[in-house]
Structure 1
Amino acid sequence: MQAAIVEGIFPRATRLPATRDLARELSVSRNTVLNVYDNLMSQGYVTARTGSGTWVAETLPERCLNSPRNDALSLPLVAKSAAISKRGSSLLGHANASPYQWGAFVPGAPDVTQFPHKLFSQIQARLNKEPDIDRLIYSSNGGCTYLRQALAEYLSVSRSVRADADQIIITEGIHQAVDLVTRVLCDPGDLAWIEEPGYWGTRNLLRINGLKIQAMSVDEQGIIPDLPPRTPVPKMVFITPSHQYPLGVHLSLERRKQLLDLARKHKTWLVEDDYDSEFRFAGQPFPSLQGFEPDAPVIYMGTFSKTLYPALRLGYLVVPKALAQPLRVAAAELYRGGHLLVQRALAEFILKGHYVAHIRRMRKLYSQRRRFLANLIERYLGKDFMPQVNHEAGLHLVINLPTGCDDVAVAALALQRGVKVRPLSQYYMHLQERRGLLLGYACVDERQCQDAFGVLRACLIQFGIVGRAESLKSEG
């Protein structure tokens, strides 16, 4: 259960199940559950409220944020008198980065074993033999020139992005990109719109940078803009138009026009996270919002974490020309860019066609794995559990659960049995009736997928979400 709390499956400041109920669901004695709750309380993970049960602490012990599974690193907790700021406490209290980044069914985890590591290492080794001086010092130009040029060409062809190399800034991923644009273009108290449901990482970065957050609902056409004068004008709108995270819908033509009109009229920046855009398995890819019309007020973000591997820690911003110089200066001042040798190697990897070839191979592999998982869902759970959005894209599926069921508890039980899923309710900023589970399939081969799915189905049966009779029928 400690792992489930650290994972965020039991969110901060939420009530844990009653001990009798949990003991019955897990088929263990109530004393066992009581002992677990007592241990969690003594370690600072939960608190007891007289008459209202046991609750997850709003701020977790600091050690679990960095080394939740490593008992060898169990150091004394930071003294209660440590001068952690209100902002720092807010960050720690809302920290939601998962300690589980691999295996069935981690959402968004690419199959890093399939990357051509030998080829990339050969490119790096050759370039590293006699590196230029300008790749060994601090970067103040927004990243490696060769990589920015390669990206400008690639994004123009693959994503219809309108930009030259000078408009591209290399970052260490989406988090740094969001941090940079909000620090430079927003003041504390400015309003930002985010998608509901949406990516928790963006929400937490906006919160720590002092922005007011308004969660805008998502339907089958994407984010629903509640246009002025009914609502205050946002300074920024954060969207995933090509493949909304986590639901998978794409932003309709009408909504794109509405947002662009809003941005031009009220001097709002649209921040486009082109999430999973490379992995569309049927039909033509949806073009970027940034390239929808000339000089669009759009800041475009991308990353190599899903197409190559996350530990590479390389992403990019494509910004309007008027913002290029100030954001480059700010990035150098805040982060002191580096990794120029790796960036130069990646530029060659792209320019020689290896990047496109790798994406083509992975698109075929992920399509097969998606189809295999979808067949398991339909066969062993039924059509009612199938994703409402059937766009063949991305690295995960969302299965529907009945309204009112506890998807957090289901995910916690699955985690105890070695299967890592994310509850859909966790992606909402406000309480919602909709329930579901995110199942990532990209890093799971078919045998692992089938075994893990069997474990997950058993959890759903135990909670009564899938009837035993229907389960036996499907097996026959």
Structure 2
Amino acid sequence: MPPIEPPLSFNPAGIELDRRQGLTRQLYQALRQRVLDGRLVSGTRLPASRDLAAALSISRNSVVRAYDQLYAEGFIEGRVGDGTYVAQLPQTPTAGKKLSTKVSTGFSTGLSPGLSTNWLDLPVISSAEVIHSGPLTRMENNHLALPPSGPPRAFRVGVPAFDLFPFEIWAKLNAAFWRKPDLQQLCYGDPAGEERLRGLIAAYLRSSRGLQCTAEQIVITSGAQQAISLCAQLLVEPGDGVAIENPGYRAAGHAFAVAGGRLHGVSVDSEGIDCRALNALDSCRLAYVTPSHQYPTGVVMSLARRLELLAWAQRTGGWIVEDDYDGEYRYSGAPLAPLAALDRSGRVLYVGTFGKVAFPALRLGYLVLPTALVEGFARRRAVDVRHSEVSTQAVMAEFMAAGHFQRHVRRMRRAALSRRNVLLAGWPVDIPGVGSLPAVAAGLHLTVSVDSVARERQLIEQAAAADVEINGLSSYWLPDSSTPPDQRAGLVLGFAAVPEAQISLALSRLAQAWG
């Protein structure tokens, strides 16, 4: 029997920290980069937090927080009684190549941006024409289901705690803008968006999400849905295959179907989208994913799966549209770094929105794009709306520059956590046919399993009669899914829309309605 090799050890030499900046973030980035570029290989043993702190002459708390973030993102793992090790990462076609933590600022020589050139010639396509164009592009009920209107109530999905928004501050900033507006801002604006706001968004993403981008890579949109639609219009030609998570965000699927894409529903497991199924698809041009908090299952995509997905895009020349719709909401540690932060080949388009932090009616979102795509996206957007409404962009820029946005994000995260806890504590137990509540580490909603579609519909009807709003998981699946119907059943509940007292009242009504 060959001797057992001792684990590789980590030498902290070479890690230089600037004490004028956040030590935890710097250490996290340094260790993360060494894992990605191969200097720290899988199985390498890391020093105990106390030892690493002594070696770097920093506090142990800084090391613990950096380790916690690396644990959360899947870069390291603990072995009971044996310390901390670099996690086992998949062997992908990019193994051995340096993976940058920066979004690509361009494309390698000879790589075409590959924007669709047919969008100007496309006829207007009605929903009915899309539905009947083929089995892979049908949309349920012959139309796109619109979000519910009216005031928020329990347990509406996709609505943040906008009752906590600082409207007085916003009103003062808005009044100040209009009291003496810059005449230049009242002319036609840049279709990519207000320059100051783009710069502040880039700075926010760099500091809070680890996404190294510049203002020049950002295009402002009228919410996340327009950002997704732009991706569909410019990256998809009629007949192209488009992979979407199944179950998933149906409005995104609709946007790609309207652009002529042939939808392929790819199943989601406990680590995210099934990359083996994705690799088996022929002629798939684009994958739409929600890695930070899968919609609607709530799964957080693992690091191994993220690397597999990036390898697929690099191997096939495909695009990845990353919708980070509620990435600010993580309830232990810092928000996870987005998929775009791992992209080294300029294949990820990052979709962000202010609607889940401020309020949906704001209609303000953005795209972070590889630099070579920015001009094409800005020109295409100018055809639709010329540019975004100016005062909203200017006020949001001032809101961010004065520090109000960052404070509000922290407040919203605390509120969502409190409202989540009330739901988890008061949920009716022992309901026939209903599974147990999942652990909820991120996002604004949760999904609980139900044993059949018939039972799902019964529970939703009884909840509606009690004036409680619940979505059925079965409605998030593509009609042609191979998953048996009863395995698609579940309840999707948003927990952030209303205060704790209203959540408790709704839970009491549910307990009576469900008996």
TM-score (norm. length: structure 2): 0.69
**What amino acid is aligned across from residue 458 of structure 2 in structure 1?**
A
Q: Which residue in 1 is equivalent to 2:288?
A: 238
**What amino acid is aligned across from residue 314 of structure 1 in structure 2?**
L
Structure 2 contact 279–312 (Cα < 8 Å) conserved: no
TM-score (norm. length: structure 1): 0.75
Structure 2 contact 314–345 (Cα < 8 Å) conserved: no
Structure 1 contact 295–320 (Cα < 8 Å) conserved: no
Instruction: Indicate yes or no: 2:432 matched with 1:396.
Output: no
Structure 1 contact 244–275 (Cα < 8 Å) conserved: no
Task: Please state how far the C-alpha of 1:89 moved relative to its aligned partner.
Answer: 7.7
Distance 1:417 1:384, change over 3 A: closer
Q: Which residue in 2 is equivalent to 1:269?
A: 319
> Matches of 2:382 and 2:363 in 1, distance apart?
17
Q: Which residue in 1 is equivalent to 2:465?
A: 416
Task: Please state how far the C-alpha of 1:94 moved relative to its aligned partner.
Answer: 2.2
SS at match of 2:284: coil
Q: Which residue in 2 is equivalent to 1:470?
A: none
Query: Aligned to 2:377, which of 327, 343, 347?
Result: 327
Query: Aligned to 2:352, which of 294, 298, 302?
Result: 302
Q: Which residue in 2 is equivalent to 1:128?
A: 178
**What amino acid is aligned across from residue 363 of structure 1 in structure 2?**
R
Instruction: Indicate yes or no: 2:486 matched with 1:433.
Output: yes
Structure 1 contact 160–291 (Cα < 8 Å) conserved: yes
Instruction: Indicate yes or no: 2:153 matched with 1:103.
Output: yes
SS at match of 2:252: helix
Structure 1 contact 173–313 (Cα < 8 Å) conserved: yes
Q: Which residue in 2 is equivalent to 1:443?
A: 497
Task: Please state how far the C-alpha of 1:98 moved relative to its aligned partner.
Answer: 3.0
Task: Please state how far the C-alpha of 1:289 moved relative to its aligned partner.
Answer: 0.5
**What amino acid is aligned across from residue 443 of structure 1 in structure 2?**
A
> Matches of 1:89 and 1:295 in 2, distance apart?
35
Larger displacement relative to structure 2 (329-338 or 351-360): 329-338
Task: Please state how far the C-alpha of 1:382 moved relative to its aligned partner.
Answer: 9.7
Instruction: Indicate yes or no: 2:406 matched with 1:352.
Output: no
SS at match of 2:344: coil
Query: Aligned to 1:139, which of 166, 184, 189?
Result: 189
SS at match of 2:448: strand
**What amino acid is aligned across from residue 366 of structure 1 in structure 2?**
A
Larger displacement relative to structure 2 (173-182 or 142-151): 173-182
Structure 1 contact 272–298 (Cα < 8 Å) conserved: yes
**What amino acid is aligned across from residue 401 of structure 1 in structure 2?**
V
Structure 2 contact 431–514 (Cα < 8 Å) conserved: no
Distance 1:178 1:225, change over 3 A: same
SS at match of 1:385: coil
> How much identity, in percent, do the aligned residues show?
34
Write out aligned runs for 1:80-99 (5 A).
86-87=128-129, 93-99=142-148
1:236-265: CA deviations, max 9, x gaps?
Answer: 100011111111111111111111111111
Gaps of at least 5 residues in structure 1 are 1-82, 462-476
> Matches of 1:237 and 1:88 in 2, distance apart?
19
> Matches of 2:159 and 2:512 in 1, distance apart?
24
Instruction: Indicate yes or no: 2:344 matched with 1:291.
Output: no
Distance 1:159 1:457, change over 3 A: same
Larger displacement relative to structure 2 (249-258 or 371-380): 371-380
1:187-218: CA deviations, max 9, x gaps?
Answer: 11111100011011111111222110001110
Distance 1:424 1:89, change over 3 A: closer
Larger displacement relative to structure 2 (407-416 or 437-446): 407-416
Larger displacement relative to structure 2 (227-236 or 351-360): 227-236
Equivalent residues, number: 378
**What amino acid is aligned across from residue 428 of structure 1 in structure 2?**
W
Query: What's the C-alpha RMSD, in Å, of the aligned pairs?
Result: 2.3
1:402-430: CA deviations, max 9, x gaps?
Answer: 24543133213322331111011111113
